[in-house]
Amino acid sequence: MGEQSAGIPGILIEPADERASLDFDDIQHFLMSRPPARAARYEFLTFASAKGGRAWLTGLIEKVGTAKAVGSNISDARWVTVGFTWNGLRALGLSEASLATFPQEFRQGMAARANILGVTGPNDPMHWVGGLASPNLHAIAILFARDVTERERCRQEHENYVKQCEGVELLSALDLEAIPPFDYAHEHFGYRDRLSQPVIEGVGEKPTPGSGPPVKAGEFFLGYPDEEGAGAGMPAPEALSRNGSYVAYLRMEEHVGAFREFLRQHGQTPEQQEWVAAKLMGRWRSGAPLVLTPDQDDPALGADYSRNNDFNYGTMDPHGYGCPLGSHIRRMNPRDTAVNMNRRKLIRRGGTYGPPLPEGVADDGVERGIAAFVGCASLVRQFEFAMNVWANDPSFHELGNERDPIFGTQDGTFDMTIPKRPIRKKIKGLPAFTTIRGGAYFFLPGIKALRYLASLTDGC
Amino acid sequence: MATSALPKNESLKSQAVETSGKADWTTPQAMAIPKGGYFADHVEQGRYGPIFPKTPACYGFSVIAKVIPGREDHLYNHAKVIEKAIAENPTFLAPLKAHYLRWVIFKINGESYMMYQGIFDTDFDKYCEDASVLFGKSGIHSAFEALEGWPKDYATNPAAIVKFFREHQFPSFLEYSEHPYVSCEEIKKSLKLKAAFTDMLDLMQ
């Protein structure tokens, strides 16, 4: 949801005729633009018949927002995206020859590769909700809406539409709403969100200072040159090989009560608790980066997109005295301390679900968290790398026994080291602040590819 | 082959519990490795397939491939290319976290083969992905172009390089280390610490 996106990177600096020749009218808007939505709904669907699935898709194509349409029309009230699992493409009737051209990780799906991602223990797919680990998960309809009223109108409209499509059934759904106050994006733990997003070359946006150069479109959209040249491993036929993307969906519950209790255990004063929270993330909850302001919060800096990404680690904080080596942001974006960074970029979309838990209130046991999509052109090289090597590798930066303190799979046996002079602080037995409640890999085809899929016939 | 697959480093974690003193760098260790290169109940699952286990001698590989007839001199010439690349930028291959890399040419029935052997600290898949980019930039890849089966699209397709390395890997059946499981970074840190203490003692004179 992007109501809070005003002021985030994305200042148009290139005249339209100087923008790269991306097919803005064919690429789904999802990874290209962030509409001003305060509510969302994800619907997970299954197709009992290929014909029914294709009928559903046929009627929905006109409602899918393209990068061109969403980027030029700010009066819209809802934005629709459609994606398919590999099983879903098969359920639509795509030929086995074509199915075989998709990359192995997509063919296998997230649930089958949970071990590779480090998604184990309570996060294991056997515990997932909503049928997300099921081979019957075929499609997702992502609705972003300007407000809850519009979302409910669309929900009802889609419900009526699905009833008309024989064999199409709703497996599960998730409603999302932004957390107040709405003037900045944040999640249930209170951290400012959406501070660091890659800029796509040719889209016409200027990266914020410190964010690095724009990334080749082929890192996110099939059929375009990527950072190493022509992209590899394109699906066939050609209709599917251009303007599509892969997204990894993660429904991540946030244990707000446990998080706040942890802060209380490790900080005697509110200021100390904020310090611990900042060290876990690598930024103060205001968004101010620890590298730039290691000793005290600076909310103005956190909100200033011209400054809040303007830092590196290699020369400004090599030992992690400001931003710990194992903190969340240092793992998920090691900046100048990792190689091939432009081959690891990801675009994140999504929002928060569940009611916010007021400060001072005991955890009510209601599920709340983040339901996010990570978009890229290669799940194995980009998303799975981030999970396998950055989030869940205990040896990251030679730490030895640590995982991402916020997002990594924690079971009480890993640590968190906070470099500090003269002696570092080590927190032993970090609890799990989050649990993965579901996930899936989806292919977001371009509009022409959607029409191709809708035009398939049985036995083709 | 594997009977079960464990997530990254879970295999090491469980081994550490079972093998007391595993992390003790002062006690030399050897590890016998089953046929096929994997421990059936401790297979680390990587993004491109099962990862050969970390041993007291860290991660590593021994890739053996046939040299395209007539290209042996090409390999010797490119040894100088690699030497020059590293001399000009000594930290160029640092991202690979390699302890040692060895290139060996040998003959079987009059035909040339090359063995590329490495000891490193990152897992096999990450090594191959990083290497694919670095080799392309340094000219090192040219050496591999002399090998039969080297993927033509290596420059743009890291997965193809990983596949080549996997298909030509010959796993060890025994590995040994005088300082087990110590990473390259830890060795360098220790030497830096020694140098710092030496400086301190000099300043105390």
- What is the model's pLDDT at position B93? 85
Residue A229 carries which DSSP code?
B
Question: What residues contact residue A55 under an 8 Å CB cut-off, 6+ apart?
Answer: A165, A166, A168
How far apart are the C-alpha atoms of B54 and B122, rounded to whole Å? Answer: 10
Which residues of chain A neighbour B136 with C-beta distances below 8 Å? 228
Q: Which is nearest to A5 in space by CA: A255, A175, A194, A228? A: A194
Q: How confident is the model at residue B147 (pLDDT cuts 50, 70, 90)?
A: very high
Chain A residues whose CB is inside 8 A of the B47 CB are 105, 116, 380, 384-385, 388
- The contacts of residue A298 (CB under 8 Å, 6+ apart) are A284, A286, A288, A292
Taking CA atoms, B196 is separated from B185, B188, B200, in Å, by: 16, 12, 6
Domain locations in chain A as residue ranges = 3-247+445-454, 253-439
Nearest residue on chain B to A403, alpha-carbon basis: B9
Q: Residue A161 carries which side chain, given as an amino acid letter?
A: Y
- Is the pLDDT at A45 greater than 90? The verdict is yes
Contact A443, A244 (CB under 8 A): yes
Top-confidence residue, B196 or B14 = B196
3-state SS class at A331? helix
For chain B, what is the mean pLDDT?
83
Q: How is residue B131 written in tokens?
A: 């290497």
Which pLDDT value is given to residue B78?
Answer: 85
* pLDDT of B122: 85
The ipTM of this complex is 0.77
Backbone φ and ψ of A269, nearest 5°: -115, 160
Are A105 and B47 within 8 A, CB to CB? Answer: yes
The partner residues of B119 in beta bridges, in order of sequence, read B60, B100
Within 8 A by CB and 6+ apart from A167, the residues are A47, A48, A49, A51, A52, A53
What values do phi and psi take at A49, rounded to 5? -135, 145
Query: What is the percent of chain A with per-residue pLDDT over 90, rounded to a whole number?
Result: 85
On chain B, the residues whose CB falls within 8 A of the CB of A232 are: 153, 156-157, 159-160
CA distances from A405 to A80, A306, A415, B90 (A): 33, 27, 8, 34
Residue A411's H or E segment, with its range, is none
- B14-22: average pLDDT: 40
Q: Which residues pair with A299 in a beta bridge?
A: none
Distance CA A210, CA B55 (A): 39
* A74-86: average pLDDT: 91
Residues in chain A: 460
Inter-chain contact B133–A117, Cβ cutoff 8 Å? Answer: no
What span, in angstroms and rounded, lies between the C-alpha atoms of A318 and B148?
A: 43
Give Cα separations from A347 to A52, A219, A247, A344, B146 (angstroms).
32, 10, 9, 10, 38
Residues A61 and A447 sit within 8 Å (Cβ to Cβ): yes
| Coil, helix or strand at residue A102 | coil
pLDDT in tens, A410-447: 999 999 999 999 999 999 999 999 999 999 999 999 99
CA distance A221 to A199: 13
CB < 8 Å to B123, chain A: 389
Per-residue pLDDT at A264: 97
DSSP A319: T
Q: CA neighbours within 13 Å on the CB side: how many for B163?
A: 11
Strand pairing category for B49-51 and A369-376: unpaired
Phi, psi of B101 (to 5 degrees): -130, 135
Q: Show me where the domains of chain B are located.
A: 5-185
Distance CA(B129)–CA(A381), nearest Å, equals 8
∠ Cα B119 B186 A405 (to 5°): 100
The mean per-residue pLDDT over the stretch A13-23 comes to 58
pLDDT in the model for residue A73: 64
Question: Residue length, chain B?
Answer: 205
Question: What one-character DSSP code corresponds to residue A282?
Answer: S
**The pLDDT of residue A10 is above 50:** no
Q: Touching check for A232 and chain B: CB below 8 Å?
A: yes
- Check: CB of residue A283 under 8 Å from CB of residue A289: yes
Contact assessment for residue A430 and residue A415, using Cβ atoms and an 8 Å cutoff? yes
Highest mean pLDDT among A21-30, A252-261, B152-161, B183-192: A252-261
> Strand order of the sheet with strand B59-66?
B59-66, B111-120, B98-108
pLDDT over 80 (residue B2): no
What is the DSSP track for B75-98?
HHHHHHHHHHHHHH-TTTTGGG-E
Give the Cα separation of A278 and A288 in Å (integer): 9
Rounded to the nearest integer, the mean pLDDT of chain A is 92
Residue the block writes with tokens 């103060």: A284
A93-127 pLDDT tens trace: 999 999 999 999 999 999 999 999 999 999 999 99
Tokens for A152? 């409910």
- What is this structure's pTM? 0.89
Highest-confidence segment of A2-11, A430-439, B39-48, B136-145: A430-439
pLDDT band at A20 (very low <50, low <70, confident <90, very high): low
Q: What is the pLDDT of residue B33?
A: 95
pLDDT category of residue A351 using cuts at 50, 70 and 90:
very high
Rounded CA separation B124/A210 (Å): 31
Structure tokens at A398: 């030679």
Cα(A244)–Cα(A175) distance, integer angstroms: 25
Question: Looking up tokens 């600076």, which residue turns up?
Answer: A298
Tell me the C-alpha distance between B177 and B155, whole Å: 35
Flag whether pLDDT at A11 surpasses 60: no
Cα–Cα distance for residue pair A179/A190, rounded to 1 Å:
9
Mutation pick from A108, A110, A116 vs chain B, by most beta carbons of B within 10 Å, is: A116
Residue A338 C-alpha, separation from nearest chain B C-alpha, in angstroms = 7
Given a cut of 50, is residue A385 above it in pLDDT?
yes
Structure tokens, B138: 């340094």
For the segment A261-271, the average pLDDT, to the nearest whole number, is 96
* Contact across the interface for A393 and B186, Cβ inside 8 Å: no
A58 CB burial (10 A radius; 0-12, 13-18, 19+): middle
Q: Give B-chain residues touching A384 at CB under 8 angstroms.
A: 47
Residues of B in contact with A340 (CB under 8 A): 95, 129-130, 133
Report pLDDT for B19.
39
- CA-atom Rg of chain A in angstroms: 22
Q: Using a CB–CB cutoff of 8 Å, tell me whether B15 touches chain A.
A: no
Predicted local distance difference test score (pLDDT) of residue A163: 95
How many Å apart are CA A378 and CA A106, to the nearest integer?
A: 9
pLDDT digits (tens, 9 = 90+) for A34-44: 888 999 999 99
Segment B94-135, tens digit of pLDDT: 888 899 999 999 999 999 999 999 999 988 888 888 877 777
CB A59 within 8 A of CB A52: no
Residue A268 has pLDDT above 80, yes or no: yes
